[in-house]
Amino acid sequence: MLDLKRQYQPLHQELLEAVSLVLQTQQFILGEQVAGFEQAASRQLGVAHSLGCSSGTDALWLALAAAQIGEGAAVLTTPFSFFASVSAILRAGATAVLADIDPVTFNLSPTAVEAALNGPQGKAIRAVLPVHLYGQCADFNAFNLLGKERGLKLVEDAAQAWGAEWNGVKAGGLGDIAAFSFYPTKNLSAAGDAGMVATNSDELAERAKMLRQHGMRRRYYHDEIGWNTRMDGFQGAVLEVKLRYIEGWTRSRHNAARRYHALFHAAGLAEAGPYPAHGLVLPHEVAGSRHVWHQYVIRTARRDALRDFLAARKIGSEIYYPVPLHMQDALKCLGYAEGAFPESERAAREVLALPIFAEIREDEQQTVVNAIAEFLS
């Protein structure tokens, strides 16, 4: 699926030097390296504030807590995401309300969001938390409008979307506050767990900063119950180096996605969506947006058999995500039955992510496409 060593090898010396600076300064928690990364991240995203923290999951919690979304509030999000999109809401003390996805983009559907806002739980909803799934921004024209009309906070789950854009605005600056993950398989990745909160609001940034250090504004004086969720110096050092390269890697991912598209079309396998018949539905890049291709996800009716076929040929693939969140055992408490979100449930049966990363070679992509063509023939 992903060969991280190809990214690492050319950076080896630069990373060693950056990491050795942390050892020399002995600033292991936050410190100069993290501050340097935060400033560079803000410049790259075009946001006023970036705050490094210990994971994407914590970044989501921090964003919600900074926006004072907790007990008594409900947050509307998608059932077709990684578990943390919902568990962070519950950790913040709020209730999670779900709305179905758009079958073309797999992102939260504005129509479904509007219906939920007009539904029985609508009055308690204080925030919408769209996920930029697979590296493509959710529809922020619609969500910004709904947010303004209804006085809702917009919290972006941008874990998969470093560098993605919507109408020329980068993910991270689209809503009130955003959460990023630098988990090692992400487009911009740390050497361990790390995450970040981004916002244009001075007030939310100040609160997030206080909350990531046990609610302290002044050392050992605790104004609120926060948590320990600081970024460590090694991660800041690694991320600052990788920030210099991420734009080039994103362009390479774009080229790889374009190549897959061309190869699948040439093989006669691509079908018009949103649902597959006998072939494949290819991922769709929304006009005016910039997809960063964290994943290249196809839809196919015989997904599980195809996955086994690829595995037998040592071709990696992955299912993001096989069980929609409302059907997870841990989230039965949300009170949704199977059938509540048909688009998410269908997507969970049909999606398959193919290998994509900046350094993937054309011959490797050709091998993937040939194997899929053989399976479908």
Ligand X SMILES: Cc1ncc(COP(=O)(O)O)c(C=O)c1O
Counting every residue written for the chain, the total comes to 377
Size of the site for ligand X (CB under 6 A): 15
Return the residues of window 117-146 that contact ligand X according to CB under 6 A. Answer: 131
Which of 85, 199, 200, 344 contacts ligand X by CB under 6 A? 85
Contact 190, 170 (CB under 8 A): no
Q: Cβ 245 to ligand X, closest distance in Å?
A: 20
User: Using the rule CB under 6 A, which residue among 76, 155, 159, 292 binds ligand X?
Assistant: 159
Q: Does 189 bind ligand X (CB under 6 A)?
A: no
Query: Could you check whether the bond before residue 260 is cis, i.e. omega within 30 degrees of 0?
Result: no
Q: How far apart are CA 212 and CA 178, in angstroms?
A: 15
Nearer to ligand X by C-beta: 159 or 238? 159
Helix H or strand E encompassing 234? helix 233-243
Q: Which is nearer to ligand X, 57 or 105 (CB)?
A: 57
Site string for ligand X, 21-60 (x = CB under 6 A): ----------------------------------xxx---
81 forms part of the interface with ligand X (CB under 6 A): yes
CB 98 within 8 A of CB 325: yes
Nearest approach, Cβ of 159 to ligand X (angstroms)?
3
Counting contacts by CB under 6 A, is residue 235 touching ligand X?
Answer: no
CB neighbours of residue 270 within 10 Å = 18
Work out which of 195, 236, 276, 324 binds ligand X, going by CB under 6 A: 195
Binding segment (CB under 6 A) for ligand X, from list 145-153, 154-162, 346-354, 361-369: 154-162
Name residues contacting ligand X, limited to 166-185 (CB under 6 A). Answer: 181, 183
Q: Does 187 bind ligand X (CB under 6 A)?
A: no
- Measured N-to-C along each axis, helices 140-150 and 110-117 cross at an angle, to the nearest 10 degrees, of 20
Kind plus residue range of the DSSP H or E element containing 350: helix 342-350
- Residue 131 φ then ψ, to 5°: -105, 130
Q: What is the dihedral of CA 169, 170, 171, 177, to 10 degrees?
A: -70
CA 339 to mean position of chain CA atoms: 25
Residues that bind ligand X (CB under 6 A): 55-57, 81-82, 84-85, 131, 157, 159-160, 181, 183, 193, 195
